[in-house]
Amino acid sequence: MKRQRLSLKDIVQEDKKIDEGMEAGNNADAAGVPPLAEETITVPKKEKIKKPATNEYIGKNNSDKIINKSEFIKMSITIEPDLFEVVDELSRQRRKKKEAYSYSVIIRDALKEYFGKNK
């Protein structure tokens, strides 16, 4: 038989019973709540989790800097298919050279060059 989902009211009542049992000096039997188990639980060691990439490595084109992406402003653009093919081809070339190859990096480099703000 499926266990029916408890309502918020039922959950609050259970919590009150547990709290009353705790206040009564751990005499949980009086409150109708089973006593807390007194056994030792071993917790497995946590594995190290890799943090998501928050920095982006900029290759040879921008003085080998690491830029914190949290300082960036996200935007969406629409470009012509011919221009996209050029960006995509450049991305493939950079990937082969083991340089930063994401579309964002390529567009940022192009805009910096266009506006003359190479840092």
Residue-wise pLDDT tens digits, 5-62: 778 888 888 888 888 877 666 554 554 556 565 666 676 776 666 555 555 555 555 4
Q: Which amino acid is at 8?
A: L
d(CA 54, CA 97): 23
pLDDT at 33: 55
pTM of the model: 0.43
pLDDT more than 70, % of the chain: 58
Domain coordinates of the chain in residue numbers? 8-44, 55-115
